[in-house]
Chain A
Amino acid sequence: MADLRRYFDDIQPGEEYESPGRTVTETDIVIFAGLSGDYNVLHTDAELMKHSIFGERIAHGLLGLAIQAGLFTRATQAYATLAFAGLRWKFKGPIKIGDTIKLRAKVIAKKETGKPDRGLITLERTVLNQRGEVVQEGETDLIVERRP
């Protein structure tokens, strides 16, 4: 089978990708609370949250982060990723039940590492809601294989 993954050598700074949208549901939040064990009232108490600055329950920040990681795989042809090396991330605004988020990503840096078979790709990522508001943003560093 042909290897359709993109290697470090193929990826160029300036490349931009946009994912499909994904509607974040109450079910997503309930499953994430159950999986993570994070039952903070922000995500689980509808009555209390009516009186908060958000007016309703909001998604866990890390749920939004995890969903955008999934959206990245639908935004572009797969990278030959070996590992996720790190990230710098800001939660800018709430993701509410029923919001539809999408990811915009841009390759901003490409660096050699100490190992000849791999390199480091840095992406700038922006997560937007249906109104075009930035809800999360940051940079991620991926270790990507070189073309064998």
Chain B
Amino acid sequence: MTPQAHLYFEDVAVGMTVTTPAMTVTEAHVAIFQGLVREPGEAPGVVPELLPLCLAIGLGWRAPAPPLVVLAFMGFEWEFLGPVRVGDTISSRARVVNTRALREGGVVVEEREILAQTGEVAQRGRFTFLVGRRPKEAAA
């Protein structure tokens, strides 16, 4: 059997959990981010709060699970609980907490956390995605 390349709305169930690989946040990440968006420098060694969030999305693509077919990122609520510092190694954990079927696809709500190497939660919140339905030709 060919492993499934994507997760469609039909494949998503409340309680599904994904943990990503980890990555170390470096000065280079901070410099590129600051150059891209012109966020002024913070205290030396402190990572701009939005950067770990951006990195966590990319980590999600490297998780050992097929990626969701996201048609649109609808919105999110987020809390920054503590600073992430250059040299910290972050990972992310997501759990599906709600789904709602629509005609074109469905809404999936996930609780996400960004963890430091100590296991401490640095950031957390809820993401809402619009996820595609399985196309007819891809039906099992």
**What is the size, in residues, of chain B's interface with A at 8 Å between Cβ atoms?**
31
Check A62/B53 contact, CB under 8 A, given A86-B80, A87-B78.
yes
B33–A35 touching, CB < 8 Å: yes
Which A residues are CB-close (under 8 A) to B33? 35, 66
Q: Which residues of A contact B37 (CB under 8 A)?
A: 63, 66-67, 69-70
The number of inter-chain residue pairs (CB within 8 angstroms) is 91
| CB atoms of B50 and A35 under 8 A apart | no
Task: Give 1 or 0 for each of B80-123: 1 = CB within 8 Å of chain A CB.
Answer: 10010000000000000000000000000000000000000000
B110 to chain A, nearest CB (A): 15
Task: Tell me the bound Cα distance from A17 to B73 in angstroms.
Answer: 27
Cα distance, A23 to B54, chains bound together (Å): 20
Distance of A28 Cα from B58 Cα, bound (Å): 16
Chain B contacts with A in 16-40, Cβ cutoff 8 A: 29, 32-33, 36-40
Interface members, chain A 56-72 (any B CB < 8 Å) = 60-63, 65-67, 69-70
A11 within 8 Å of B by Cβ? no
For B37, B49, B61, B78, the residue with the greatest tally of chain A CB atoms inside 10 Å of its CB is B37
Known A-B contacts A85-B79, A91-B73, A91-B75; the reply to A32 vs B40 at CB < 8 A is: no
Instruction: Give the docked Cα–Cα distance between A70 and B34 (Å).
Output: 9
Interchain CB contact under 8 A, A62 and B75 = no
- Please count how many residues in chain A sit with their CB below 8 Å of the partner chain's CB atoms: 32
Q: How far, in whole Å, are A83 and B48 apart by their CA atoms in the complex?
A: 9
Instruction: Give the residue name and chain of the A residue nearest to B56 (CB).
Output: A36
Not counting A37-B59, A85-B79, A90-B74, a sample of 16 additional A-B residue pairs whose C-beta atoms are within 8 angstroms of each other reads: A31-B32, A31-B36, A35-B33, A35-B54, A36-B55, A37-B58, A38-B54, A66-B50, A67-B37, A69-B37, A73-B38, A86-B80, A87-B76, A87-B78, A89-B77, A90-B75
Give B residues with C-beta under 8 Å from A: 29, 32-33, 36-40, 48-50, 53-55, 57-59, 61-62, 70, 72-80, 83, 125
